[in-house]
């Protein structure tokens, strides 16, 4: 009995120390730099930051402007076919090429002869009817720009066989040596499509109806892809558990759904709006009047390894780099694990996590509110693009000047 008492006493004395919460980290200050007026996206290619914007002249065009580490402009390129073209998503490949996708029109509409397309509808969904927004912008376009700013190629996905008359709104693009993956939506349904690096498109795959949404895609080296999104309907035989669930979908290189996992909460609306190749995802969890951002690190088979919910407002962005996980979000309340943070209005905060999901740093960017993108390069470290409350856009780093 004495031995049992001593053992129990030892456990009581040890437990508070073993279960002690990590010490709260103080908020540091990052650095903010002006971005070219109208910038909508930014990517890093080698030592250059490339800002991308949609512009208007006699037609809708796309502008790319590159700046080196010193802030000097190294090149500028305008994509102008004479017809309208608008980019909606951007990425870079391992060679530093910039890939853009969006919607385009043709001066003399003809199908791209080297491309093949068709329809795949694994859920046997009957599309809801809708009115086309603009017939002349109903081509899904893919642009390749070299690291030095040369327009290498423009590819258009054929639409005759698909019967598409709506504008395809691409929401995300991912490029690897195995090809390109794109997700987005038409008026009535989300889509997935892939392409080779020379512009040969796969079948366009439609999954669900307008009750589902694809926000981010990551292409893997084997040609498969992971889609991050949300759905308020049954997909691949799995019904919605909440008002709206976050969904992770694995698509094979042939366009088939091989795995689908739903992330749900009772009477809540959830969505994964950002995700990367390390299976780090973030998105809102809305329950009644309470809004939080969930950040979760998944395994390659979509099993969560750690997760955390943080009070927030608006969108978020995630990034995995240097063994850390980064979350950029708009916050207006105190956050457990972070000291000296309680803004009076929504403000941008970037939180750093270790490989176990423990908060190790927090960086404030005064004046900025909404994250647009996060990226990393060995030359610049972690950088991001964000907007202020008045809509102006700036680039930021996590290092104080």
* 241-253 residue pLDDT tens: 999 999 999 999 9
What would the two tokens of residue 113 be?
């002869």
User: How distant, in Å, are the alpha carbons of 108, 211, 220, 270, 294 from that of 334?
Assistant: 56, 33, 37, 22, 16
* 32-65 residue pLDDT tens: 999 999 999 999 998 999 999 999 988 899 999 9
pLDDT the model gives residue 136: 67
C-beta separation of 84 from 119 below 8 A? no
Nearest one of 106, 157, 156, 154 to 134, comparing CA atoms: 106
Length of the chain in terms of residues written? 401
C-beta separation of 48 from 379 below 8 A? no
**CB neighbours of 306 closer than 8 A, spacing ≥ 6?**
296, 297, 356, 357
d(C-alpha 159, C-alpha 312), whole Å: 40
pLDDT the model gives residue 23: 87
pLDDT the model gives residue 116: 39
What would the 3-class secondary structure string for 318-336 be?
EEEECCEEEEEEEECCCCC
Angle at 336 between CA 335 and CA 339, to 5 degrees: 75
pLDDT the model gives residue 339: 96
d(C-alpha 165, C-alpha 156), whole Å: 14
d(C-alpha 345, C-alpha 171), whole Å: 29
Angle at 15 between CA 13 and CA 20, to 5 degrees: 120
Angle at 30 between CA 26 and CA 33, to 5 degrees: 165
pLDDT the model gives residue 115: 40
Entry pTM:
0.87
Domains of the chain by start residue, with CATH: 40-325 (2.120.10)
d(C-alpha 195, C-alpha 181), whole Å: 7
225-231 vs 280-287, strand pairing mode:
unpaired
C-beta separation of 384 from 363 below 8 A? no
- Ordered per-residue pLDDT tens for the chain, 401 residues: 444 444 343 434 444 443 456 789 999 999 999 999 999 999 999 899 999 999 998 889 999 999 999 999 999 999 999 889 999 999 999 999 999 999 998 865 344 433 434 434 444 333 333 323 344 678 999 999 999 999 999 999 987 555 456 788 999 999 999 999 999 998 889 999 999 999 999 989 999 999 999 999 999 999 999 999 999 999 999 999 999 999 999 999 999 999 999 999 999 999 999 999 999 999 999 999 999 999 999 999 999 999 999 999 989 999 999 999 999 999 999 999 999 999 999 999 999 999 999 999 999 999 999 999 999 998 899 999 999 999 999 999 999 87
Nearest one of 276, 272, 155 to 219, comparing CA atoms: 276
């Amino acid at each position: 009995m004495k031995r049992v008492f001593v053992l129990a006493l030892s456990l009581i004395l040890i437990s508070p120390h073993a279960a002690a919460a990590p010490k709260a980290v103080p908020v540091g200050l990052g650095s903010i730099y002006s971005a070219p007026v109208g910038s909508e996206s930014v990517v890093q290619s080698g030592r250059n930051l490339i800002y991308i914007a949609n512009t208007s002249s006699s037609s809708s065009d796309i502008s790319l402007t590159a700046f080196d580490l010193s802030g000097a402009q190294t090149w500028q390129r305008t994509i102008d076919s004479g017809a309208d073209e608008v980019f909606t998503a951007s990425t870079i490949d391992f060679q530093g090429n910039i890939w853009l996708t969006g919607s385009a029109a043709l001066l003399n509409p003809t199908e791209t002869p080297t491309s093949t397309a068709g329809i795949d509808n694994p859920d046997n969904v009957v599309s809801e009817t809708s009115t086309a927004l603009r017939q002349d912008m109903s081509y899904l376009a893919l642009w390749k720009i070299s690291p030095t700013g040369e327009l290498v190629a423009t590819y258009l996905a054929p639409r005759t066989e698909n019967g598409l008359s709506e504008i395809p709104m691409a929401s995300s693009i991912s490029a690897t040596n195995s090809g390109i993956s794109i997700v987005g939506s038409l008026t009535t349904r989300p889509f997935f499509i892939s392409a080779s690096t020379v512009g040969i498109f796969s079948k366009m795959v439609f999954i669900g109806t307008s009750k589902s949404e694809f926000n981010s895609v990551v292409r893997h080296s084997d040609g498969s892809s992971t889609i991050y999104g949300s759905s308020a309907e049954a997909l691949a035989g799995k019904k919605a558990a909440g008002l709206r669930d976050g969904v992770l979908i694995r698509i094979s290189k042939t366009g088939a759904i091989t795995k689908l996992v739903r992330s749900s909460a009772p009477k809540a609306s959830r969505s994964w709006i950002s995700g990367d190749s390390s299976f780090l995802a973030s998105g809102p969890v809305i329950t009644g009047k309470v809004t939080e951002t969930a950040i979760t690190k998944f395994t390659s088979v979509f099993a969560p390894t750690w997760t955390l919910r943080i009070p927030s407002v608006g969108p978020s962005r995630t990034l995995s780099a240097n063994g850390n996980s980064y979350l950029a979000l708009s916050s207006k309340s105190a956050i457990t694990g972070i000291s000296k943070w309680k803004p009076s209005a929504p403000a941008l905060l970037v939180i750093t996590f270790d490989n176990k999901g423990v908060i190790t740093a927090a960086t404030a960017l005064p004046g900025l509110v909404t994250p647009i993108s996060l990226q990393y390069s060995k030359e610049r470290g972690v950088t991001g693009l964000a907007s202020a409350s008045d809509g102006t856009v700036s680039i930021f780093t996590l290092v104080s000047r």
